[in-house]
């Protein structure tokens, strides 16, 4: 197979000077001589260079290691966005302070906290935990416009993947369709109607329980007991429907807590 000529090509901070007489110890293939911007000289296989496995003579990593905290990881995220913009032929005019202030905000669409993790070069879990950078990412609201402040909102990976080339309005309409489709699988009533029914049912249940406690004859107790059980079943079904529709969780301000407050008004 004919060897691709990469002489003169740049890979990161490396510029390929010539095909040297040095050979790879295992593959016995001649290596390309590369000069780094810092003046260092290194030798690599062509596929190592073209695959982006090396971008400097090693000084790149050394420079990163000198940076304090998670600055190296933050810089890698910024470079990635600039590279993506250049690859797509888009403008990138975002000031660096604004970029880092906003990319760590919760997702504009779903509100989820930053979950993407950027690590510094040669990351060591036991020593570099404070050097990682947690971020959300950005969505370009208008996909025909580049990376400019007015066109960027913080966005998690899931929402960014789902939105793709949709406009913000189209994306919101898509979310509504999903919600209402799932909603109607549970009930054909709106959450507001279900809440009103639940409040009314709770009041009826309380009234029945009062009557049951004051009932004197066994027949009255039996009749009221059956009515109470049926109403309790209806109440539980309503609560399950509302919990499903509104997605209340046990460790937050749940619907149960809300209803307990309403019961004591």
Q: Name the average pLDDT for the chain.
A: 84
- Of 202, 187, 175, 172, nearest in space to 244 by CA: 187
**How far apart are the C-alpha atoms of 249 and 234, rounded to whole Å?**
21
Question: For 97-119, what is the mean pLDDT?
Answer: 93
**Residue 239 — pLDDT band, cuts 50, 70, 90?**
confident
pTM score: 0.54
In angstroms, the Cα distances linking 231 to 131, 134, 189, 225 are: 58, 50, 19, 10
Question: For 169-183, what is the mean pLDDT?
Answer: 84
Share of the chain above pLDDT 70, in %: 84
């Amino acid at each position: 197979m004919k060897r691709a000529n990469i002489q003169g090509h740049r890979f990161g901070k490396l510029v390929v000077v010539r095909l040297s007489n040095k050979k790879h110890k295992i593959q016995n293939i001649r290596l390309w001589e590369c000069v780094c911007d810092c003046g260092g000289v290194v030798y690599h296989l062509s596929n190592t260079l073209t695959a982006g496995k090396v971008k400097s003579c090693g000084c790149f990593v050394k420079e990163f290691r000198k940076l304090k905290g998670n600055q190296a990881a933050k810089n890698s995220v910024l470079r990635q966005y600039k590279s993506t913009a250049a690859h797509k032929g888009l403008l990138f005019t975002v000031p660096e302070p604004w970029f880092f202030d906003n990319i760590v905000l919760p997702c504009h669409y779903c509100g989820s906290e930053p979950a993407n993790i950027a690590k510094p070069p040669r990351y060591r879990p036991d020593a570099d935990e404070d050097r990682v950078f947690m971020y959300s990412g950005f969505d370009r609201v208008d996909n025909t416009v580049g990376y400019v402040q007015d066109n960027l909102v913080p966005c998690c990976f899931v929402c960014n993947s789902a939105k793709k080339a949709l406009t913000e309005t189209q994306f919101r309409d898509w979310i509504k369709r999903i919600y209402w489709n799932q909603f109607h699988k549970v009930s054909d009533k709106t959450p507001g109607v279900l809440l009103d029914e639940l409040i009314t049912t709770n009041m009826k249940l309380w009234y029945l329980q009062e009557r049951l406690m004051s009932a004197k004859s066994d027949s009255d107790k039996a009749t009221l007991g059956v009515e109470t059980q049926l109403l309790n079943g209806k109440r539980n079904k309503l609560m399950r429907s509302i919990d499903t529709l509104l997605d209340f969780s046990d460790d937050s301000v749940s619907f149960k807590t809300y209803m307990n407050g309403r019961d004591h008004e």
